[in-house]
């Protein structure tokens, strides 16, 4: 049962509610880095990595510090009650993500210089990628269309983070392949570059609408 639910979460965040094409998250890198296939792949893998880790870490921060029902802060207060800090989630999450990205950057730089050369320039950009903060927020809001009303569990959050990143990578690869081809095609002067990329994305989004008929 639990495994089936995880699979449903994965399929939902990769195809049915794709982060780029139906939730409009992460559009800046989607337009900015999708000109060449190689940079798109680098960015995509960096995003998968950061999103998975960010989902896990923000889940821990939310559940053990911010949410009063499960917070560990109640063990430190004399009355045994924890303060409700959920209103701080935006600040807490963005700080966690920013420092996590910085930490990953330093860690990769020290341990694997070749990986750093491949992903390095994309990592600072990821802090302001709304898909990362978006997945952290969606993890605590739940998803009624899958039947999860409250917040996700720890494993569900990790799965959602990973599969949302995978969905992002797939879209980035598809669009960069199309844009490489479009460079050589004759298109009206005024639509060249970003406008045609958006229209292509629109057509892809129509194709992805087909997945919404999927019943799981």
Q: What residue ranges bind another protein (CB under 8 A)?
A: 21-28, 31-32, 87-91, 94-95, 98-99, 127-130, 132-134, 137-138, 141, 188-192, 194-199, 201-203, 205-206, 209
Of 117 and 192, CB closest to another protein? 192
Of 115 and 137, CB closest to another protein? 137
Residue 71 CB, nearest approach to another protein (Å): 19
Of 5 and 133, CB closest to another protein? 133
Of 147 and 202, CB closest to another protein? 202
Question: What is d(CA 43, CA 138) in angstroms, rounded to the nearest whole number?
Answer: 22
Question: What is d(CA 202, CA 36) in angstroms, rounded to the nearest whole number?
Answer: 19
Residue 196 CB, nearest approach to another protein (Å): 7
Of 22 and 109, CB closest to another protein? 22
Residue 3 CB, nearest approach to another protein (Å): 27
Residue 33 CB, nearest approach to another protein (Å): 12
Decide if 142 contacts 116 (C-beta within 8 A): no
SS (H, E, C) 151-164: CCCHHHHHHHHHHH
Residue 134 CB, nearest approach to another protein (Å): 6
What residues contact 151, with CB distance under 8 A and at least 6 apart? 62, 63, 139, 140, 141, 142
Residue 35 CB, nearest approach to another protein (Å): 13
Of 191 and 216, CB closest to another protein? 191
């Amino acid at each position: 049962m639990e495994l089936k639910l995880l699979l449903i979460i994965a399929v939902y965040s990769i195809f049915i509610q794709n982060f780029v094409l139906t939730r409009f998250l992460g559009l800046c890198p989607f337009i900015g880095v999708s000109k060449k296939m190689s940079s798109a792949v680098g960015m995509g893998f960096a995003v998968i990595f950061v999103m998975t880790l960010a989902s896990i870490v923000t889940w821990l921060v939310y559940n053990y510090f911010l949410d009063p029902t499960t917070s560990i802060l109640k063990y430190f207060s004399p009355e045994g009650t924890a303060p409700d800090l959920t209103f701080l989630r935006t600040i807490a999450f963005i700080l966690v993500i920013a420092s996590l990205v910085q930490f990953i950057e330093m860690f990769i730089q020290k341990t694997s210089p070749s990986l750093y050369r491949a992903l390095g320039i994309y990592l600072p950009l990821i802090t302001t990628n709304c898909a990362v903060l978006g997945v952290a927020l969606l993890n605590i809001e739940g998803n009624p269309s899958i039947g999860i009303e409250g917040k996700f569990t720890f494993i569900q959050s990790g799965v959602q983070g990973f599969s949302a990143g995978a969905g992002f990578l797939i879209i980035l690869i598809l669009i960069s392949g199309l844009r490489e081809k479009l460079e050589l095609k004759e298109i009206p002067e005024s639509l060249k570059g970003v406008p045609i990329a958006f229209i292509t994305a629109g057509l892809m989004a129509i194709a992805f609408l087909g997945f919404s008929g999927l019943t799981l």
